Structure 1
């Protein structure tokens, strides 16, 4: 039994390196999508100390809006632009109607407010778009759906063009986000607000402007993630459940770390796929991907409660 659990999977990895590469690639793609969702959580938390429970439904709402606008007659890329406008309006509305009146309230009140936003978006989405599963407009957006077939070392590695596109677009989006945060005035203001809230406000940084900005950026990330997940699994409210896989990513990487969101997402995507294929299916009956990430994050928290990339908080009394 011990041999089967601890040794045999590694023997299988060594015996079929091309299959191992296939598993690693599929885990990488999932990890990239987890990391994107986690980035939305991190940006909002850094700037406002609000854990945005609504990030998952924002992914669904953005994808539904895109598909709905295209079904209403808008060309695909015009629908993308219109969806971005909708996400900006949502960001402004959240700041004006929900966040601004609650400035200075306890964190739990702001967290409960994001739960209210979640329920509102679910109701609004079902009212406007219905609850049935929809197909993402992949072909209309020009996203390739064929396969690349590679033969590393005489083996066989199949890469879906959709997955390659997702990885490339995600990498460009992260690079653009990092460039924005490090090299633009507004980006530095977002970082300053996250590093020292009171000091940033004292030098004239507008809290309301930054909140609208980070919620809009989170909306952009939600749209990209919604397109990617929608192309893989269809567009429905079930995507909200997938989006919550970002929670163990945040536990693993730390709530305030962009690096942690990226590295944590990739780690969980790859490790859960490896565990499912080499341990879950043959030894545990499968379906380990539903719980592996949470167990891994809890184990990490036992030894490092702030996450791998979070800063240790020291309170002096």
Structure 2
């Protein structure tokens, strides 16, 4: 009975006794969840346009952030380095389309998936060769990103909102909204959806797969850069960020591989859920819930709804 009380009752008693701590925990989970959503959007963009699950999206986050920081270390002004990094991500998109995707058109999905594995380790090696393997500090001040915190008295206590977290949440929200409009309202967005439905049908109406793939990989690269800047500003820029980026996988499973709203909702559920789990239930198992809870939630969703909460249900007729 004592164990059941600690699991099912005591955490909620703690929430009611210290609502300010509950708000603080939810806020930190919200920020993490929004950034998870931003990473997941990179996966969704590429999968919707090409049917390829891009395992390299995580290392693209790291590579973009390292490029930005590396250029500033060479004396390039921060905003010029930002523009040059965007150019690097465009060249990377062109290179991936020419060298990886174009020769593998109409190959089985598993072949394309394995190609993104190879791309992952290529970018890891290239990044370590050019920038080294030591962690680096994001150029937060040079980019004009806010520092410090805003402390608010509420619910009988003090809740602290880091300014960089507020900026990250706003940037991610704007990016998510812009991508949603881009997919639904623009000609290129409609072309991307057409390519996702059928490559052959898209080619038959004059849509260039090569151009579409460059656009979508470049867009995913911009998303990766924005994510790398914000995650790097909250911690540091290192190859450990790739592990954080892989938290997008349970977000995708939860929300659905082809759904932009699913990426948003899934990210928020995972971010808030793991923070609440770590703070209130973590002491029961000695901590560390935050490292595995997201995958546990994703496994539960797979067993009930394999296509995710917002994914398209696949119906095969025999």
TM-score > 0.5 by shorter chain = yes
Matched residue of 2:309: which SS?
A: coil
Supply the RMSD in Å over aligned alpha carbons.
0.9
Is the 2:47–2:54 contact (alpha carbons within 8 Å) kept by the matching residues of 1? yes
Report the CA distance between 1:155 and its aligned residue.
Answer: 2.3
State the partner residue of 1:238. 240
Q: 2:134 aligns with which of 128, 132, 135?
A: 132
Structure 1: give runs of 5+ residues left out of the alignment. none
CA distance in 1, matches of 2:220, 2:203: 22
Distance in 1, matches of 2:198 and 2:114, equals 24
Contact 2:183 2:189 in 1 (8 A): yes
Runs of 4+ in 1 over 3 A off after TM superposition: 195-198
Distance (whole Å) between structure 2 residues aligned to residue 139 and residue 189 of structure 1: 39
Once residues 29 and 72 of structure 2 are traced to their aligned partners in structure 1, the CA distance between those partners, rounded to angstroms, is 31
2:277 corresponds, among 263, 275, 278, to: 275
- Give aligned pairs, total: 316
| 2:296 corresponds to | 295
Q: Quote the Cα distance in structure 2 between the aligned partners of 1:272 and 1:198.
A: 42
Shift of 1:84: 0.3
- Secondary structure of 2:151's partner? strand
* Separation (CA, whole Å) in 1 of partners of 2:156 and 2:15: 16
Equivalent of 2:213 in 207, 211, 214: 211
The Cα of 1:262 is off from its aligned counterpart by 0.7
* Structure 2 counterpart of 1:61: 63
Corresponding residue SS for 1:156: strand
Following superposition, the deviation at residue 197 of structure 1 comes to 3.7
- The 5 A counterparts of 1:1-317 are 1-280=3-282, 282-317=283-318
The Cα of 1:182 is off from its aligned counterpart by: 2.0
CA drift of 1:109 comes to 0.6
Answer yes or no: is the 8 Å Cα contact 2:199–2:209 preserved in 1: no
Mapped to 2, the partners of 1:305 and 1:177 lie a distance apart of 25
Q: CA deviation at 1:183?
A: 2.1
1:216-259 C-alpha deviation (Å, 9 max, x unpaired): 01000100110111111211111111110000001111111111
What is the DSSP-based 3-state SS (H/G/I as helix, E as strand, rest coil) of the residue aligned with 1:23? helix
Q: Provide the C-alpha distance between the structure 2 equivalents of 1:150 and 1:200, rounded to a whole number of angstroms.
A: 53
What secondary structure sits across from 2:9 in the alignment?
Answer: helix
Cα separation, 2, equivalents of 1:197 and 1:293: 33
Tell me the CA shift for residue 201 of structure 1: 2.4
TM-score where L is the length of structure 1: 0.98
Per-residue displacement from partner, 1:164-201 (whole Å, max 9, x unpaired)? Answer: 00001111111211222222211121122223443322
Unaligned runs of 5+ in 2: none
Structure 2 contact 261–310 (Cα < 8 Å) conserved: yes
How far apart, in 2, do the equivalents of 1:194 and 1:107 lie?
13
Q: Distance in 2 between matches of 1:292 and 1:229?
A: 20
Q: Could you tell me how far 1:145 is from its partner in structure 2?
A: 1.1
Q: Secondary structure at the match of 1:291?
A: helix
SS at match of 1:260: helix
Distance 2:21 2:187 in 1: 47
What is the TM-score of this pair, normalised by structure 2? 0.97
Note the alpha carbon deviations across 1:251-301, whole angstroms, 9 max, x for none: 111111111111100100001100110001x21100111100000010111
1:230 partner SS = helix
